[in-house]
């Protein structure tokens, strides 16, 4: 968070009214891309529901520090009953839903050649969080989004969903599934807009100790650094703001996929 963001948060007032009256649910928003997206949406006047599965104290702190109205709801989207609870709490507290940002995800590093290392447990958890949970929440949200005058779903995927890379084969497969989900829903469930943001390596608390990977990206990418949460949040806002874009996957990787 920048110094300006902190100043706005301390004032506890939105800095804009572009999204005033709209309600945004951002999953996995206690840190990283989700947190920054929540801050940007709140600064533009949206009421924001912050969510995490385990980082309760951090999630509550993010919600309390946002410049506009915000709520925190703990839920693990890999569990159906908790996904249902998250949506129900959002509707009860806020009365409606206009923007859904599917950011919650999970991964662990398994080299692609290590088939034995990609155990059934790792594969199942990767799919349960990244695919099944995201699908169930999105599906359940669609009837409520239809009531909005400006309905948006933006899903955070990865360049691993468009190239044969990623922290594990399961993760890459999961993100590819989400990209395809985005296209299919955009085709069949307009006027709700469905889009995806596919970052390359992002400098977040999750990757804080991935020094070798960050150095490799900085050496290869035409824009010589890893992405930031701010880069990704701005891409989310681009989709939210444009009323005629749907079914697209926006790669945010400093042109890394153009040279590798």
Q: Which residues are catalytic?
A: 171
146 CA to centre of own chain: 21
Distance CA 53, CA 155 (A): 17
Where are the strands (E) in 122-246, listed by range?
152-156, 193-199
Distance CA 186, CA 154 (A): 11
Distance CA 82, CA 245 (A): 31
What is the H or E stretch that residue 61 is in? helix 56-65
Residue 156 to residues 20, 32, 49, 60, 120, Cα–Cα distance (Å): 23, 12, 17, 22, 24
Phi, psi for 202 (deg, rounded to 5): -115, 140
Residue 138 to residues 15, 42, 182, Cα–Cα distance (Å): 29, 21, 10
- How many Cα atoms within 13 Å fall on the side-chain side of residue 220? 16
């Amino acid at each position: 968070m920048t110094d300006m963001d902190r100043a706005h948060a301390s004032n506890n007032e939105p800095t804009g009214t572009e999204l005033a009256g709209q309600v945004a649910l951002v999953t996995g928003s206690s840190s990283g891309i989700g947190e920054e997206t929540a801050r940007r949406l709140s600064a533009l006047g949206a009421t924001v529901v912050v969510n995490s599965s385990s980082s309760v104290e951090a999630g509550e702190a993010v919600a309390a520090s946002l410049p506009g109205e915000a709520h925190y709801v703990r839920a693990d989207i890999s569990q159906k009953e908790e996904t249902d609870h998250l949506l129900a709490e959002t509707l009860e507290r806020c009365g409606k839903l206009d923007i859904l940002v599917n950011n919650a995800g999970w991964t662990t590093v398994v080299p692609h050649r290590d088939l034995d290392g990609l155990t059934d447990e790792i594969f199942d958890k990767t799919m349960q969080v990244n695919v099944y949970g995201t699908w169930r929440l999105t599906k359940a949200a669609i009837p409520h989004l239809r009531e909005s005058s400006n309905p948006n779903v933006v899903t955070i995927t990865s360049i691993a969903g468009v190239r044969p890379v990623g922290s594990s084969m399961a993760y890459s497969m999961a993100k590819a599934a989400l990209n395809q989900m985005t296209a299919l829903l955009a085709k069949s469930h307009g006027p709700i807009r469905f889009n995806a943001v596919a970052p390359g390596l992002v400098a977040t608390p999750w990757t804080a100790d991935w020094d070798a990977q960050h150095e490799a990206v900085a050496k290869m990418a035409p824009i010589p650094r890893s992405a930031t949460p701010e880069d990704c949040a701005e891409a989310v806002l681009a989709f939210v703001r444009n009323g005629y874009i749907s079914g697209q996957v926006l790669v945010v990787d400093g042109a890394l996929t153009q040279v590798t």
